[in-house]
Structure 1
Amino acid sequence: MTLTNTILPKDQIQVAETIENWQQAVKLASEPLLKQGFITQEYIQSMINSVKEHGPYMVIADYFALMHARPGEGVIQQSMSLLVVKEPVDMMNKPVKIFLILAAKDNQSHLESLQKIMTIFMDTQKYQVILSGNKAEITELFIEGGNGR
């Protein structure tokens, strides 16, 4: 057990230079959760299918996609992971650099951690740090009680 409480553990944060397409980005962003057994392949496919069916509605801010599928389906443990891509990836005519994967077990239990994480994303300075793609600086932002710059 670690002393610091992280909203997003370091091993669930990834940075890449470029990614071929948004589907590959979603798969790569989901990989840490899949490897730890927090989600199944079905959950990843559900996120991709949702975008294919409903368009890029998960792009909720400039360069930012909050990726998710229906709560519970393919989710073993509530979790989140983050992928920052330095070169924007086209998601149906929307450029995306930040892929935040949200795996929720139900409609309620993830709301507190999502609120904490969105506070970081809504801070303009912190958002720029995330967009810069420096993994050490990004990791620092998600340590609760960290200096948060």
Structure 2
Amino acid sequence: MPDKLSLLGLLPEQSVLVNASARDWRTAIRLAGEGLILGGAATAAYSDEMIATVEQLGPYIVIAPGLALAHSRPSPAVRRTGLSWVSLQEPVHFGHRDNDPVRLVVGLAATDHNQHTAALGSLAQLLGAPERMEELLTAPDAATVRHLIGNFDPEVPS
């Protein structure tokens, strides 16, 4: 298994939702879950698992200012490793002391711990630069999000 995964390979266009509206963190996670379902990465049960994880462990999924990484453990609800992308019209609060409110929810479904870690590493590289994060957050549509990721993605041949 490679140390990195292609982000574009994990994030089909139908899994990207831009300028979405969510009334609270649970709705935001459900939108991320819907993207995972549409991309074939997970079943509807995975959305419930992601919400239950936050209910049990708190808002640790808010990993950086404005960014939540919605995920749960590998389970039968995960069909394959994949990502979803939800940029929010209005930020929502997850209850994180330092990193709220959230403007971007990335959903992650992974079949095992190695895939989970590899996807996290690639995402951290992508979102590590504040100017790139802002460009991605303000992308007007799914195709633009994927284009920007493709320009960055170290695993996609030029």
TM-score by length of 2: 0.79
Match of 2:84 among 64, 76, 81: 81
Q: Which segments of 5 or more consecutive residues in structure 2 lack a partner in the other structure?
A: 1-6
Q: Is the 8 A contact 1:71 1:107 kept in 2?
A: yes
1:91 match: secondary structure: coil
User: Contact 1:67–1:102 (CA<8 Å) still a contact in 2?
Assistant: yes
Distance 1:88 1:59 in 2: 12
Between the two proteins, the alignment pairs up a number of residues equal to 144
- Report what 1:139 is aligned to: 146
Given candidates 105, 110, 113, the residue that maps to 2:111 is 105
The two structures have a TM-score, normalised by structure 1, of 0.83
The structure with the greater share of residues assigned to helix is: 2
Once residues 29 and 127 of structure 1 are traced to their aligned partners in structure 2, the CA distance between those partners, rounded to angstroms, is 18
Q: What's the Cα RMSD here? A: 2.3
- Deviations, residues 92-136 of structure 1 (Å, cap 9, x unaligned): 253111100010101112433332222110022111112224324
State the match for 1:55 in structure 2.
Answer: 58
Q: CA deviation at 1:146?
A: 8.7
Looking at structure 1, the residues matched to 74 and 15 of structure 2 have their Cα atoms a distance apart, in angstroms, of: 20
> In the alignment, is residue 44 of structure 1 matched against residue 51 of structure 2?
no
Instruction: List gaps (5 residues or longer) in structure 1.
Output: none
Q: How many Å separate the matches in 2 of 1:67 and 1:9?
A: 17
Percent sequence identity is: 29
Greater than 3 Å deviation, 4+ residue runs: 144-147
Identify if the C-alpha distance between structure 1 residues 133 and 91 changes in structure 2 by more than 3 Å, giving closer, same or farther: farther
Aligned partner letter, 2:54: V
Question: Which residue of the other structure, out of 128, 133, 143, is the alignment partner of 1:127?
Answer: 133
Which whole-Å CA distance do the structure 1 matches of 2:27 and 2:137 have between them? 19
